[in-house]
Amino acid sequence: MRPFSGRLALVTGSTSGIGLAIARALAAEGADIVLNGFGDPAAIEALREDLANEASVRVRYVGADLARPSEIEDMMREIEGELGGIDILVNNAGIQHVAPVHEFPPERWDAVLAVNLSACFHTIRLALPSMLRRNFGRIVNIASVHGLVASVHKAAYVAAKHGLVGLTKVVALETAGTGVTCNAICPGWVRTPLVERQIEARAVREGVDGETAARALLAEKQPSQRFVEPEHIAALAVFLCSPAAAEIRGATLTIDGGWTAQ
């Protein structure tokens, strides 16, 4: 018997990167998985089938756009009706836009806040009732070191991730006397597609190759000089969903190569 057999996990933003690593890790421990994210439909279907076969679990894909609350509600209602209530919710989906505050397009501010913060509120509020009825639930919010410290030109992202850390603490307090926990993981630089775009932009701006730009990015913030691996974050998420983490509540756990230790 694998520890999460019979549990259902929704991982948002799980068609690539950190979210996919978390989905794989939870499936390996026996959890049925609902994938969510964007991508080529044929590639996503192949991914869904591969994950189901390799882990011998049920895997469903729901392509809700998390910038739209109505689509989040439809997704959560569909999952509840067809698969039963969600036991594990991992809010991982995120987008980024980089610009000085006085040049930041308002529509990009709204989009970043919608996906990185408001979507987490909506999934949590809709997942909690069935978690509380069953007296079991694990909510893991993938925040960021930018939920704890700031960087220039990332006003929307930093604001959203600080908000997500605060939301995590409120949910943890409101569920403290129950079998539901809520915690946040705060990664540093992880070489995901989102960060890769920042590396490429830096390479163009500074007239260097991609690896030089990547090393410069690490040197500014991350003392270990190494990227965090998606599998590191996945392992921590699995731990937070385990019985051993039952009294970890409202925590913000950094995995950042020493970034916030400075």
pLDDT, one tens digit for every residue, the chain (262 residues): 899 999 999 999 999 999 999 999 999 999 999 999 999 999 999 999 999 999 999 999 999 999 999 999 999 999 999 999 999 999 999 999 999 999 999 999 999 999 999 999 999 999 999 999 999 999 999 999 999 999 999 999 999 999 999 999 999 999 999 999 999 999 999 988 878 988 999 999 999 999 999 999 999 999 999 999 999 999 999 999 999 999 999 999 999 999 999 9
Give tens-digit pLDDT for 7-54.
Answer: 999 999 999 999 999 999 999 999 999 999 999 999 999 999 999 999
Q: CA end-to-end span of the chain, whole Å?
A: 43
CB contact at 8 A, 79 and 10: yes
Catalytic residue among 61, 109, 157, 227: 157
Which of these, 70, 75, 113, lies nearest to 95 by C-alpha position? 113
Query: For this structure, is 157 an active site residue?
Result: yes
Instruction: Write the CB contacts of 217 (distance below 8 Å, at least 6 apart in sequence).
Output: 189, 195, 198, 199, 202
pLDDT value for 89: 98
Q: How many CB atoms lie within 10 A of CB 163?
A: 18
Q: What is the pTM of this model?
A: 0.95
Give me 198's structure tokens: 């920042």
Q: Class of the 8-188+229-256 domain?
A: alpha beta
Separation between Cα atoms, residue 218 and residue 214, nearest integer Å: 6
CB contact at 8 A, 35 and 11: yes
Where do the domains of the chain lie?
Answer: 8-188+229-256, 189-227
Three-class secondary structure of residue 181 per DSSP: strand
Give tens-digit pLDDT for 231-243.
Answer: 999 999 999 999 9
Give me 183's structure tokens: 């915690």
Q: How many CB atoms lie within 10 A of CB 242?
A: 14
Give me 187's structure tokens: 């990664």
Instruction: Write the CB contacts of 62 (distance below 8 Å, at least 6 apart in sequence).
Output: 34, 35, 36, 75, 78, 79
Give me 68's structure tokens: 């739209």
Separation between Cα atoms, residue 131 and residue 163, nearest integer Å: 23
